[in-house]
Amino acid sequence: MSSAEVVIVGGGVIGASVAYHLAARGLKNVLVLERGAQRGEGSTGRATGGFRAQFATPVNIRLSLLSREKLLAFRDETGVDPCFRQHGYLFIARSTVELDALLSAQSVQHECGLAEARAVSAEDIKQLNPAVESSELVGGVFCPTDGFIRPLEILRGYTEAAARLGLRFEYGVALEGFRMDSRGRIESLRTNGGEVSAGSVVNAAGAWAAKVARLAGIEIPITPLRRQVAVTRPFDLLPKEMPMTIFVDDGFHLRVRDRSVLLLWPDEPKTEDPFDTSVEDAWVSEVVAKARARVPCLKGAEIDRDACWAGLYEMSPDRHALVGVAPGMENFYLANGSSGHGVMHSPALGQLLAEIILDGEARSLDVRALRPTRFAEGEPNAAPDFL
């Protein structure tokens, strides 16, 4: 039977970040188990690569600021360019109610140190993104230091840097259960490749986190949520420097990547299987209609149906991560529920959970708002749905 001081279940970007940060602190006997046959087969490889600090709660803003600091140093630290390009995020309001909510959140952002986030008028929006149909615009907000990242490059950076420090990554290994000791702690993991003895276990299983926790006899409020992406064929009427552009009223947003335009709209999935990652023709038709109405030049764009894809968010009830020790099990740690923000926050989350494991508490940031017990305590985080 193999053994490790810490076993991480899930080799996506959050699991890899936790692994790297443990190794960077000197803990080398760490094993990462990933059920995919190779790196990047899970949710990380299906992320669209946005990065923003424009959130509505202090903890998410500060997670972004810590992650941004680490992304700017990422190449020096890991040897891999995360392709962090600060082209900005533009949130567009088409009603005064939406604009008031954006400005209220921006006051929180300023208090947390995001001074460069600013309000923009309808005329400003025309300058920031001239392609947007402007007749119904009320105003919006813009942050020039938000932008885009490459999820698979961040994953590669953390994985390769951790491996150089002596950590082990095993692929094609599926968790089948846990063996508990007499005190109710996890003693070992049963996998399709044999049993692994563990001092501690980290749940970094993304959308599958609740299934992993259930194997340990614990219920955590994490559910998968499908997000579909429509992709145009190469289209040169929108520049690669175009900011991520988001319409607050229904969440429709778009960005340019590799000369294609990614069209996104968070609809309610019409499938009984919560882990379904198919792309629905009806959804594609609807998101294309929205795109052509709001960005008229896209009437000349053609959808590459074979390139469209869907991935799974790992949703928590308040759309904030669960970070820390699992309730009632002192050697089982959670890094789950980022609710669509996992890749962008992975640099911070990996560092913070490594601190919790090694020091007993997070030292870089106050993460009390992310404690796994907050729902049972009646203290969820409150924020508008679009932030």
Where does 2-50+151-222+317-370 sit in CATH, by number? 3.50.50.60
Q: How long, in residues, is the chain?
A: 387
Domain 86-147+224-315 adopts which CATH fold?
D-Amino Acid Oxidase; Chain A, domain 2 (3.30.9)
* Six-digit token string for 171: 């692929």
> SS3 of 37, please?
coil
Residue 233's pLDDT is 98
Amino acid at 249: D
**Residue found under tokens 């998968």:** 224
Average pLDDT per 10 consecutive residues for the chain, totaling 387 residues = 94 98 97 97 97 98 98 98 98 97 98 98 98 95 98 98 98 97 95 97 98 97 98 97 97 98 91 94 97 97 98 98 96 98 98 98 98 98 89
State the CB neighbour count (10 A cutoff) for residue 256: 22
Distance CA 148, CA 48 (A): 9
- Please report which helix (H) or strand (E) contains residue 12, including its range: none
Residue 335: name the closest of 68, 101, 10 by CA. Answer: 10
Where along the chain do its domains lie? 2-50+151-222+317-370, 86-147+224-315
Name the pTM for this structure: 0.97
- 323 exposure class (CB count in 10 Å sphere: 0-12, 13-18, 19+): buried
Residue 254's pLDDT is 98
Please state the separation of Cα 68 from the chain's center in Å: 14
Residue 269's pLDDT is 79
